[in-house]
Amino acid sequence: MRYRSEVPPHLTVLAGLMGCVAFPGAGTAQEISPEAQSSGKDDIVITGQRTAGSAVGAVDPTATLDQSAIQALGATDLKTLLERLKTLTTSASGGDPVYLLNGRRMSSMNELYSLPQEAMEKIEVLPESEAARFGFPATVRVMNFITRKRFRAVTYQQAAGTTTEGGGGTNYVELTAARIDGPRRATLTVSHLRLNPVLQSERAIVPDPDTLYALGGNITGVGGGRIDPRLDALVETPVTIAAVPN
């Protein structure tokens, strides 16, 4: 005798549904990436480096000029450059600015004037409130000149002039050699100035006979007469004009 066991149809359908529910769950767990499992947030860190020689502190500078802005001013030397920046550097009280070189005070302005303007990388103009940090009164603005890290140049300047009526010509020649190597600086300046005199003979000037002291540095008598009878007796001849004694 044989017996056959049959599974009811509703149980077969139920087992199939359970399998369909179980397998998709396992597949979903495998698709989750490690990035999605991490609940932490990534931090963005920005690292900045301060410009060497900068004097900027907690207060933002009034103005900052880079090399392009300095060259656009068209100044041939630092003295001319300072004049053209006067409206920017004059304080509210009308005072002239004070100067720093690479964030430090200078012993004299010659340290700045001896450098050509081409050696400057940046100029910072700080407000009056920052002057006290460098030992200056808080009523003036601060100009900080930042030089290039590496610089070498030889500059030549020449200026000539004359008077409108001729004579008295001037000629000025200046040669400057500058070198910057990090914190070390060296400058050498050689200059020559020649001023030609203006002589009385080069001008249509008529001496005044009533003037005792002539333009040429001589003493003349009134009306072209003798200067002093005692002087005539001393030299044994009439004297109407004599050089001013030293």
Continuous segment of H or E residues that includes residue 232: helix 229-235
For position 14, what pLDDT does the model report? 46
Confidence of residue 246 (pLDDT cuts 50, 70, 90): low
Structure tokens belonging to residue 189: 């300046």
pLDDT in tens, 58-102: 888 999 999 999 999 988 888 899 999 999 999 988 899 999 999
pLDDT of residue 34 exceeding 70, the answer is no
Give the confidence band of 37 by pLDDT, cuts at 50, 70, 90: low
Q: Which two tokens stand for residue 108?
A: 């004299």
Integer Cα distance of 106 and 18 in angstroms: 88
pLDDT band at 20 (very low <50, low <70, confident <90, very high): very low
CATH 3.30.565.10 fits 53-148, yes or no: no
Can you give the pLDDT at residue 150?
92
Query: Going edge to edge, which strands form the sheet with 142-147?
Result: 63-66, 120-126, 142-147, 98-101, 104-105
**φ, ψ at 142 (rounded to 5°):** -120, 130
Q: Can you tell me the mean pLDDT for 8-36? A: 49
| Residue scoring higher pLDDT (23 or 83) | 83
DSSP of 2-52: -------HHHHHHHHHHHHHHHHHHHHHHH--HHHH----PPP-----PPT
Let me know: does 140 contact 62? Beta carbons within 8 Å.
no
What does the buried/exposed string (b/e) look like for 83-97 if buried means 16 or more CB atoms within 10 Å of the residue's CB? eebeeebebeeeeeb
Q: What value does the mean pLDDT take over residues 197-217? A: 68
- According to the model, what pLDDT value does residue 127 have? 93
Rounded to whole angstroms, how far apart are CA atoms 244 and 74? 50
Residues of each domain in the chain carrying CATH 2.170.130.10: 53-148
Average pLDDT for 40-59 = 77
Sequence-distant (6+) residues with CB within 8 A of 159 are 170, 171, 172
Q: For residues 26 and 10, give the distance between their C-alpha atoms in angstroms, rounded to a whole number.
A: 25
Count the neighbouring beta carbons within 10 Å of the beta carbon of residue 227. Answer: 18
pLDDT at 11 > cutoff 90: no
Task: Kindly report the average pLDDT of the chain as a whole number.
Answer: 80
pLDDT, residue 200, reads 75
The tokens of 80 are what? 């001319």
For residue 23, is pLDDT > 50?
Answer: no
Mean pLDDT is lowest, of 29-43, 74-88, 150-164, 204-218, for 29-43
pLDDT tens, position by position, 134-179: 999 999 999 999 999 999 999 888 999 988 888 888 999 999 899 9
* Angstrom distance (rounded) from CA 30 to CA 127: 63
**What pLDDT is stored for residue 209 in this prediction?**
61
Average pLDDT value for residue range 225-231: 85
